[in-house]
Protein backbone atom coordinates (compact mmCIF):
# COMPACT_ATOMS: atom_id res chain seq x y z
CA UNK A 1 0.00 0.00 0.00
CA UNK A 2 1.41 3.38 -1.05
CA UNK A 3 1.49 6.17 1.53
CA UNK A 4 0.61 9.72 0.54
CA UNK A 5 1.27 12.71 2.77
CA UNK A 6 -1.19 15.51 2.15
CA UNK A 7 -0.06 18.92 3.42
CA UNK A 8 -3.30 20.90 3.27
CA UNK A 9 -4.87 23.45 5.62
CA UNK A 10 -8.38 23.37 4.12
CA UNK A 11 -10.51 20.73 5.85
CA UNK A 12 -12.95 20.25 2.94
CA UNK A 13 -10.08 19.70 0.47
CA UNK A 14 -8.42 17.27 2.88
CA UNK A 15 -11.58 15.22 3.33
CA UNK A 16 -12.29 15.05 -0.41
CA UNK A 17 -8.74 13.91 -1.20
CA UNK A 18 -8.83 11.28 1.55
CA UNK A 19 -12.20 9.88 0.44
CA UNK A 20 -11.15 9.62 -3.19
CA UNK A 21 -7.70 8.15 -2.63
CA UNK A 22 -8.48 5.78 0.26
CA UNK A 23 -11.09 4.11 -1.99
CA UNK A 24 -8.24 3.38 -4.38
CA UNK A 25 -6.12 1.67 -1.74
CA UNK A 26 -3.81 4.49 -0.69
CA UNK A 27 -2.86 5.23 2.91
CA UNK A 28 -3.31 8.95 3.60
CA UNK A 29 -1.45 11.00 6.17
CA UNK A 30 -2.38 14.61 6.84
CA UNK A 31 -0.58 17.73 8.00
CA UNK A 32 -2.40 21.06 8.30
CA UNK A 33 0.70 23.24 7.93
CA UNK A 34 4.16 23.22 6.40
CA UNK A 35 6.16 22.70 9.57
CA UNK A 36 4.10 19.68 10.59
CA UNK A 37 4.26 18.40 7.02
CA UNK A 38 8.06 18.49 6.90
CA UNK A 39 8.26 16.71 10.27
CA UNK A 40 5.77 14.04 9.17
CA UNK A 41 7.60 13.52 5.87
CA UNK A 42 10.84 12.87 7.75
CA UNK A 43 9.16 10.47 10.20
CA UNK A 44 6.88 8.62 7.75
CA UNK A 45 8.86 8.77 4.47
CA UNK A 46 5.78 8.74 2.23
CA UNK A 47 5.74 7.55 -1.37
CA UNK A 48 4.21 10.86 -2.55
CA UNK A 49 3.60 14.31 -1.09
CA UNK A 50 0.60 16.42 -2.10
CA UNK A 51 1.39 20.02 -1.19
CA UNK A 52 -1.06 22.89 -0.98
CA UNK A 53 0.96 25.89 -2.07
CA UNK A 54 -0.91 28.35 0.17
CA UNK A 55 -0.22 27.19 3.71
CA UNK A 56 -0.74 29.30 6.84
CA UNK A 57 2.83 29.09 8.17
CA UNK A 58 5.43 28.33 5.48
CA UNK A 59 5.03 29.02 1.76
CA UNK A 60 5.08 26.10 -0.67
CA UNK A 61 8.45 27.05 -2.13
CA UNK A 62 10.09 26.84 1.29
CA UNK A 63 8.43 23.50 2.08
CA UNK A 64 9.69 22.00 -1.20
CA UNK A 65 13.16 23.40 -0.58
CA UNK A 66 13.28 21.91 2.93
CA UNK A 67 12.04 18.52 1.72
CA UNK A 68 14.53 18.38 -1.17
CA UNK A 69 17.42 18.90 1.28
CA UNK A 70 16.58 15.69 3.15
CA UNK A 71 18.47 12.81 1.49
CA UNK A 72 15.76 10.22 2.25
CA UNK A 73 13.11 12.44 0.64
CA UNK A 74 15.09 13.82 -2.28
CA UNK A 75 13.42 11.52 -4.82
CA UNK A 76 9.92 11.47 -3.33
CA UNK A 77 7.52 13.04 -5.84
CA UNK A 78 6.05 16.32 -4.63
CA UNK A 79 2.90 17.47 -6.38
CA UNK A 80 1.62 21.01 -5.90
CA UNK A 81 -2.13 21.25 -5.47
CA UNK A 82 -3.38 24.77 -5.94
CA UNK A 83 -6.29 26.93 -7.03
CA UNK A 84 -3.94 29.30 -8.85
CA UNK A 85 -4.63 29.75 -12.58
CA UNK A 86 -3.13 26.82 -14.54
CA UNK A 87 -0.38 28.83 -16.29
CA UNK A 88 0.84 30.35 -13.04
CA UNK A 89 0.55 27.05 -11.15
CA UNK A 90 2.56 25.10 -13.71
CA UNK A 91 5.31 27.72 -13.83
CA UNK A 92 5.52 27.97 -10.04
CA UNK A 93 5.54 24.19 -9.58
CA UNK A 94 8.49 23.91 -11.98
CA UNK A 95 10.32 26.80 -10.38
CA UNK A 96 9.78 25.42 -6.87
CA UNK A 97 11.10 21.95 -7.81
CA UNK A 98 7.83 20.03 -7.71
CA UNK A 99 7.25 17.01 -9.92
CA UNK A 100 4.07 18.61 -11.22
CA UNK A 101 0.82 20.20 -10.20
CA UNK A 102 -2.88 19.47 -9.99
CA UNK A 103 -5.34 22.35 -10.18
CA UNK A 104 -8.13 22.75 -7.61
CA UNK A 105 -10.88 21.88 -7.63
CA UNK A 106 -9.61 18.40 -8.37
CA UNK A 107 -11.22 16.43 -11.16
CA UNK A 108 -12.52 13.60 -8.96
CA UNK A 109 -12.86 10.91 -11.69
CA UNK A 110 -9.38 11.70 -13.05
CA UNK A 111 -7.58 12.29 -9.74
CA UNK A 112 -6.66 8.65 -8.89
CA UNK A 113 -5.06 8.17 -12.31
CA UNK A 114 -3.10 11.41 -11.89
CA UNK A 115 -1.81 10.16 -8.54
CA UNK A 116 -0.93 6.75 -9.99
CA UNK A 117 1.06 8.47 -12.75
CA UNK A 118 3.05 10.52 -10.26
CA UNK A 119 3.76 7.40 -8.21
CA UNK A 120 4.96 5.47 -11.25
CA UNK A 121 8.69 5.01 -11.45
CA UNK A 122 10.65 7.33 -13.63
CA UNK A 123 8.58 10.50 -13.12
CA UNK A 124 11.14 13.24 -13.62
CA UNK A 125 11.07 16.37 -11.45
CA UNK A 126 9.15 19.30 -12.88
CA UNK A 127 6.83 17.23 -15.05
CA UNK A 128 3.27 18.55 -15.00
CA UNK A 129 0.37 16.20 -15.44
Is 56 inside any structural domain? Answer: yes
Distances (CA, A) of 37 to 14, 31, 59, 86, 123: 13, 5, 12, 24, 22
Residues 100 and 10: their CA atoms lie apart, in Å, by 20
Is 71 inside any structural domain? Answer: yes
Residues 92, 43, 10, 18, CA torsion sign? positive
pTM: 0.91
| Domains: count for the chain | 1
Q: Note the pLDDT tens digit of each residue in 31-84.
A: 999 999 999 999 999 999 999 988 989 988 999 999 999 999 999 999 999 988
Is 107 inside any structural domain? Answer: yes
54 contacts 33 by C-beta, under 8 angstroms: no
4 contacts 50 by C-beta, under 8 angstroms: yes
Domain that holds residue 19: 3-119
> In CATH, what number is assigned to the domain containing residue 110?
3.40.50.2300
Amino acid sequence: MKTILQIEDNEANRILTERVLERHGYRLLHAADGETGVTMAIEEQPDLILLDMGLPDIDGQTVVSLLRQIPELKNVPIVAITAWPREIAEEMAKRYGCNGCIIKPIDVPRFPAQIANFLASGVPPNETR
